[in-house]
């Protein structure tokens, strides 16, 4: 049994591991519980394990699906692509829809944190007929983020600008000590106090420091500065907004909570939105799992 399989057994009891073949590659999915379908998408530089404090309890009421997004964990990892299209959030979203279809779920509730929240938001904009309710954790959309960045935000979230440099500049520098780089993102953000499960933390480092994972990490941010902003501009010009009820959560001690007008930004994108600040930093699922669970249970009904 691998480290990842052992951790799934311990931290996500009752969840069954599955390999789902999509058009472009294989995605790891874990499914647990019974009831209405609920897809939960993890953030960076993490895997599906980030939901271990929440997902088993939600599985009491829902058919919960946890995936490793492309480029992370045990899912396939495309390399460099023209225009960074392989890591546009639109591409991620289409692939996650394929996963849900393969599992027999046409429409579903959707929760995302960090990178997973960006994918979830794009899925709700591009495929409104598929998403019944949307919960977003600790992001602002790419267009708003880059348009409103200040010197302080650039200092705190330096990697949003470092990782977008042309290949192989950031990849080569990260290779010098990938464990320190990924560990700093997991533990060094302002307001960061996440009490990680020690073995889960080791798994995040192991999963994010391979050559393919480092390329994927950089490409995701390059796509954010190019493809994702372009898609946001198109939506704004067309007046497209998120149609379903949306819960926006953020850590009020983190970079996003301290530097952005969350309510104003998200009301413009999701008219039917409600807001739930959390007394923590960025990594809500592991810093405040009980509070997050209560908010999700109330919202997802």
Instruction: Give catalytic residue positions.
Output: 114, 282
Q: Is the peptide bond preceding residue 168 cis, with omega within 30 degrees of 0?
A: yes
Specify the 3-state DSSP secondary structure of 34: coil
For residues 271 and 259, what is the distance between their CA atoms, to the nearest angstrom?
A: 22
Instruction: Report CA-CA distances (Å) from 254 to 100, 125, 157.
Output: 32, 26, 11
Query: Cα 26 to the chain's mean position, in Å?
Result: 18
Query: Cα 80 to the chain's mean position, in Å?
Result: 20
139 in Cβ contact with 256 (< 8 Å): yes
Of 104, 54, 24, give the one whose Cα is nearest residue 283: 54
List all residues 6 or more positions away from 84 whose beta carbon is below 8 Å from its beta carbon: 219, 222, 223, 226, 227
226 secondary structure, DSSP code: I
Judged on CB neighbours under 10 Å (0-12, 13-18, 19+), 198 is: exposed
- Paired residues of 63 in beta bridges: 37
User: Could you tell me where the beta strands, DSSP code E, fall in 46-137?
Assistant: 63-67, 108-113, 131-137
Length of the chain: 301
């Amino acid at each position: 049994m691998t480290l990842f399989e052992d951790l799934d057994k311990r931290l996500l009891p009752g969840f069954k591991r599955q390999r789902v073949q999509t058009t472009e590659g294989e995605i790891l999915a874990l499914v647990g519980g019974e009831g209405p379908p609920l897809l939960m998408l993890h953030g960076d530089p993490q895997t599906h394990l980030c939901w271990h404090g929440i997902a088993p309890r939600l599985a009491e009421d829902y058919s919960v699906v946890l995936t490793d997004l492309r480029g992370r964990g045990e899912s396939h990892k495309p390399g460099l692509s023209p225009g960074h299209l392989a890591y546009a959030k639109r591409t991620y979203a289409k692939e996650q829809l394929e996963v849900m279809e393969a599992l027999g779920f046409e429409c579903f509730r959707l929760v995302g944190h960090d990178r997973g929240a960006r994918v979830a938001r794009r899925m709700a904009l591009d495929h409104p007929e598929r998403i019944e309710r949307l919960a977003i954790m600790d992001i602002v959309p790419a267009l708003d983020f880059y348009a409103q960045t200040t010197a302080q935000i650039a200092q705190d979230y330096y990697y949003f600008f470092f990782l977008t440099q042309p290949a192989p500049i950031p990849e080569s520098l990260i290779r010098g000590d990938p464990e320190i780089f990924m560990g700093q993102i997991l533990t060094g953000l302002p307001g960061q106090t996440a009490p990680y499960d020690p073995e889960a933390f080791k798994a995040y480092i192991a999963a994010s420091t391979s050559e393919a994972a480092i390329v994927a990490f950089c490409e995701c941010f390059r796509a954010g500065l190019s493809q994702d902003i372009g898609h946001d501009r198109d939506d704004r010009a067309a007046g497209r907004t998120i149609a379903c009820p949306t819960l926006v959560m953020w850590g009020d001690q983190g970079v996003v909570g301290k530097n952005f007008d969350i309510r104003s930004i998200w009301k413009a994108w999701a008219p039917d939105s409600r807001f739930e600040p959390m007394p923590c930093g960025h990594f809500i699922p592991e810093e405040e799992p009980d509070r997050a669970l209560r908010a999700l249970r109330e919202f997802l009904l």
